[in-house]
Structure 1
Amino acid sequence: MPPMQSQNLSQKANYHHGNVREKLLDAGLAHLKNSDAESLSFREMARQIGVSANAVYRHFENKDCFLTALAAKGFQHLQIEQNQAMQSTASQPEALKRFGLAYINFAKNNRNLFTLMFDRSLQHDSANELSEAVHSTYKQLYKLTACILDKNETDPQVEILATLSCSLVHGLSHLLLEGRLAESEEKANDLILLVMNYATNLLTVADEVER
Structure 2
Amino acid sequence: MPKRGYHHGNLRQALVEAALRLIEIKGPTGFTLSEAAKQAGVTPAAVYRHFEGREDLIAEAARQGFSMFADLMQFAYDKGQPSALAAFESTGRAYLAFARKHPGHYISMFESGISVNRTPELADAAARARGILERAATELCEHIPLHKRPPASMFSAHILALSHGVVELYARNTPGTASPFSPEDLLESGIGIYLRGLGLIDPDT
By the TM > 0.5 criterion, same fold?
A: yes
- Give the Cα separation in 2 of the matches to 1:124 and 1:164: 19
Equivalent in the alignment of 1:79: 70
Equivalent in the alignment of 1:137: 129
Equivalent in the alignment of 2:146: none
- Give the Cα separation in 1 of the matches to 2:134 and 2:126: 12
Q: Write the mapping of 1:137-176 to structure 2, written as runs, cut at 5 A.
A: 137-150=129-142, 157-176=151-170
Quick one: structure 1 residues 96 and 81, their matched pair in 2 at CA, closer, same or farther if it must change by over 3 Å?
same
Equivalent in the alignment of 2:12: 21
Tell me the percent identity.
23
Quick one: structure 1 residues 179 and 162, their matched pair in 2 at CA, closer, same or farther if it must change by over 3 Å?
farther
- Contact residue 181 and residue 188 of structure 1 kept, 8 A: no
- Higher Rg: 1
Q: Secondary structure at the match of 1:37?
A: coil
- Give the Cα separation in 2 of the matches to 1:42 and 1:143: 39
List per-residue Cα deviations over 1:116-144 (Å, max 9, x = no partner): 32247421745443322222211222222
1:42 aligns with 2:33: yes
- Give the Cα separation in 2 of the matches to 1:98 and 1:110: 18
- Give the Cα separation in 2 of the matches to 1:65 and 1:126: 9
List per-residue Cα deviations over 1:11-43 (Å, max 9, x = no partner): 94x74xxx3212211222233343322233322
TM-score after normalising by structure 1: 0.70
- Contact residue 25 and residue 70 of structure 1 kept, 8 A: yes
Equivalent in the alignment of 1:92: 84
Output the aligned Cα RMSD.
Answer: 3.4
Unaligned runs of 5+ in 1: 1-7
Unaligned runs of 5+ in 2: 144-148
- Contact residue 93 and residue 200 of structure 1 kept, 8 A: no
Equivalent in the alignment of 2:61: 70
Identify, as 1 or 2, the structure richer in helix.
1
- Give the Cα separation in 1 of the matches to 2:186 and 2:108: 26
- Give the Cα separation in 2 of the matches to 1:150 and 1:75: 27
Equivalent residues, number:
190
- Partner amino acid, structure 2, of 1:190: D
